[in-house]
Structure formats: structure tokens, C-alpha cells
Amino acid sequence: MKSGLKMARRFLGAALLLGLAAWSALNLASLLQPLPPDPYVSLQRKLRFFPWDGDAWFSLGHILSRDLQRTSPPAARRCFETAVSLNPWDYRYWLELARLEEAAGDQGRASECMETALFLNRAYTPLYWQAGNFFLKHGQAARATRCFHQTLRGDPGLLRQVLALSWRFYPDRAKLIQELVPPEPGLISGAMYWCLERRETELAMDCWRRLRAGGKPFELSAAYPLVDHLIGLGRFAEAHRVWREALAATLGLEFRAFRDDVFDGGFELPLSNGGFGWRAAGSPQREFTECPAPRFRGLRSLRIDFDGTENLAGPFLRQSIWLEKPGTYWLEYAILTENLTSDQGVYWRIDSVAAGPPRIELARGPKHLEEGDWRLVSVPFEVPAAGTLIELTCQRDRSRKIDPYLGGRLWLDSISLRREGLTR
């Protein structure tokens, strides 16, 4: 038994020594290997035996045009011209030749080479990007626009780079966007946002009209930035028209269905958080849920949960409404609460909004703490002029008690406006 163990140990030791010896031999052999040959020397040697190899001439031209130690533009041009003569169907050869012809000052020849490269490869987005830059730099705006148009078809993520590059070169920016941006909803929306960032309102409106006329589906949220921008400018009627157009295009809702009324007052749709829809001020202390029960009428209501760790102050749910007609209105809503822990209940406030910061309070409803069953409430207010933008806000005042935090939950449903003299 002992002799067997000794033999096993000797065998294992011999194997380890043999493995170390083999590893050392391989390592030494790798160190003794000659260094890889210089690519420049290797290519020259190869071309002496195979002078018809276009790729070899192309690679040699690359070295001569980019290697700082061997830079020789004239020699590089000769290499690329030789490659083109051997294989005129490779766009890469023409592209490099265009670059060197441009550097040499022969713009006509450079443009011809670039056009040939585009003709040979019509599906490579980076090529169109390079060609667009090339033509734009040399004042060939029409060619550059066509190349950038194809660039965006292949890579929509380059929209902002393309617009940033082109914007200062084209005086007619409406024509630029029309010709440059492909008719895809995402790209048109992106161009509209770009215009809004630069406060080019009319260009943004052109983009919106093109988006609607395109006949392709898009999301309601695409209209939010334009609506908010027009509201900020005090162009309330236009903002509301864009909103109604967006509803008709995305949700199929009738054009006049939400005039002088609350949008989605029954919370049958997800919260918009934009446009003339509901905007919820979410936070870790508050949660908004469209729930099927309990509900006052319809299919859903909105449940708002407060976790009892926040002394909530200010609005947490709001909606803007454009009222075309003056007169006495009634805000109607249904509310249900459960275990609201506070001395400051929630209430609705109605403000008239102007283009600037001032706003006028038109009315506010009662404060709600204990509503053990659904309660239908009506709040009257007066709209003095036609075309008034109002804002409904559900809010709470800050509590000054020792235990000021708001906890519990509430449900809202069936929020609507009714003008005096009209029946529903």
C-alpha cells in the first residue's frame, strides 16, 4: 500500500516537472520567433509578385496617406488610382481617391470620385454621412441634402447631428426640413422638437402639419411639446386646436368632442402628463392608479395613495382647459376618501391663466377629509371672456399641526364642466 502511494507521488511529481518544462520550452520558442514584418515592406514584396492585387494597392495607399513616418500624398494617389484601374467596382477605392483629390485641390475630380462611390454602394449609411459632409463643405447643397436624407433613412439617430450641421448653411429652413427629413413620424417629430428648442414656432407648425398629413400612426405624446410651447406663447386657441387634431389622429376622437369640457374626466385612459390632459405630480410619497373599482360611473376611477410621510402642499393633479364661450360654469366631480390623516383636506381650485405669470383664482371647492361614500360636488365659477384658458388643480394646503403628514387614499371620478343654461 505504501509502495503504491510512493509511486503515485513520484508519477505526479514527474508530470508536474514535465509540464513546467513544456511550458518553458513553448515560452522560449515564442520569444525566439522573429517579429512580424513591417506591413509596408510586406505589401511592397507582395506587389512585386502580384501587381494585379487591387486590395494590396489600396492598403499600401492607406499607409502612404496616414502613416506619419511615410506620408506621401502623391504616392498614395498613385496607389489608389492603380487600385481603381484594377477593380473599379469597389466603392472604398473611390472614396479614398476622392479624399486625396480634395486635399490636392481638384474639387471637380473629387466630386466625381465621391459620386462614383455612392453609385457603387447605395446601402451604406456611413458613406452617405461622409458624402453629405463633403458636398456641404464645398457648397453643393442639393447633393448634400440628398445624402443626408439617405443618412437619416439608414440611421434615424443621426437626426440632431444632421440638423446641427445643416442648419446654418440653408437660409430656407422650411425647404430644408421638407427635403432633408424622411416622412417617418419619429423623424418628423424629432425635427419639430428641434425647431421648438430654437423657438422656430412656424417651422414646428409646418412639421406638425406634415406629421398629420403623412397618414402614418404616431403617439399622442408627439403633440405635447408643441401644445406646451403654444400655451407658453399665449396662443391658447392654436394650442387647443393642435390638441384636438392630435386626439383625432391618434385616438380617433371626434374633433369637437372635448370643447369646453374636461378631457377624460372619467379616467378611462392612462394619465397623459402632457397637452390638455391630466398631469400628475408623482413622487415616492404619492401613487396614481387608474383602477376599475370603486368607481362612481364608467369603467374606471383614479385612485391616489398617500404614504403618510409628506406634508403635502400645493397641486398634485391638474389639467388645462380652453373655454371658447364666457358665462357661468359649474365644475362637477365625484370624490371618495379612505383614512385621510390630516387637518388639511384636499380641494379643487380653478384659475384663469394668462400668457404671463399672473393667474386669477376664479373659485375653489370644499376641502375633503372624510367622504366614506361617493360624494358628487358642484363648484360654480364665472368666465368673463371668450377664449379663456383655465386650470383645474387638485391640491392641499400645508398643515401646521404637530402631525402634519398626509396619509390614506382618495378616488376621483366623473369630473366635468357644465355651462349654465345647458343640460347634459
pLDDT tens-digit readout, 264-282? 999 999 999 999 999 998 8
Task: Assign 13 a pLDDT band (cuts: 50, 70, 90).
Answer: low
* CB-CB neighbours of 363 under 10 Å: 16
pLDDT tens-place string over residues 168-195: 888 889 999 999 999 999 999 999 999 9
d(CA 133, CA 162): 9
- The whole-number pLDDT of residue 192 equals 97
- The whole-number pLDDT of residue 424 equals 44
Radius of gyration of the chain (CA): 36
| Among 316, 393, 314, 380, CA closest to 351 | 393
> Which range has the worst mean pLDDT, 151-155, 204-208, 352-356?
352-356
Which one has a higher pLDDT value, 329 or 37?
329
As a whole-number percent, the residues of the chain with pLDDT over 90 amount to 52
Q: What's the chain's average pLDDT?
A: 87
- The whole-number pLDDT of residue 188 equals 96
Instruction: Go through 247-269 and write b for each residue having 16 or more CB atoms within 10 A of its CB, e for each that does not.
Output: bebeeebeeeebebbbbbbbbee
Instruction: Compute CA 322 distance to the chain's CA centroid, rounded to the nearest angstrom.
Output: 28
What residues contact residue 154 under an 8 Å CB cut-off, 6+ apart? Answer: 123, 124, 125, 128
Q: Give helix 39-49 / helix 54-66 axis angle, nearest 10°.
A: 150
Residue 312 has pLDDT above 60, yes or no: yes
| Among 355, 354, 337, CA closest to 346 | 337
pLDDT tens-place string over residues 330-345: 999 999 999 898 888 9
Supply 369's cell numbers. 377629509
Rounded to an integer, the average pLDDT of 250-259 is: 69
- The whole-number pLDDT of residue 363 equals 95
Please say whether the beta carbons of 306 and 395 come within 8 A: no
Please say whether the beta carbons of 304 and 288 come within 8 A: yes
Rounded to an integer, the average pLDDT of 200-226 is: 95
- The whole-number pLDDT of residue 1 equals 53
Residue 125 has pLDDT above 60, yes or no: yes
Q: Does the pTM of the predicted model rise above 0.75? A: yes
Supply 408's cell numbers. 390614506
Residue 299 has pLDDT above 80, yes or no: yes
Which one has a higher pLDDT value, 291 or 260?
291
- The whole-number pLDDT of residue 10 equals 67
> Starting at the edge strand that comes first in sequence, how are the strands of the sheet with 314-323 ordered?
279-280, 314-323, 388-396, 346-353, 359-364
Q: Peptide bond before 315: cis, by omega within 30 degrees of 0?
A: no
Return the bridge partners of 402, or none: none
pLDDT tens-place string over residues 35-62: 456 777 787 777 777 788 888 888 877 7
What residues contact residue 103 under an 8 Å CB cut-off, 6+ apart? Answer: 73
User: Judging by beta carbons within 10 Å of its beta carbon (0-12, 13-18, 19+), is residue 98 exposed, middle or buried?
Assistant: buried
As a whole-number percent, the residues of the chain with pLDDT over 70 amount to 88
Task: Assign 23 a pLDDT band (cuts: 50, 70, 90).
Answer: low
Angle value at C-alpha 122, between 117 and 127, nearest 5 degrees = 60
- The whole-number pLDDT of residue 31 equals 45
Number of Cα atoms under 13 Å in the Cβ half of residue 424: 10
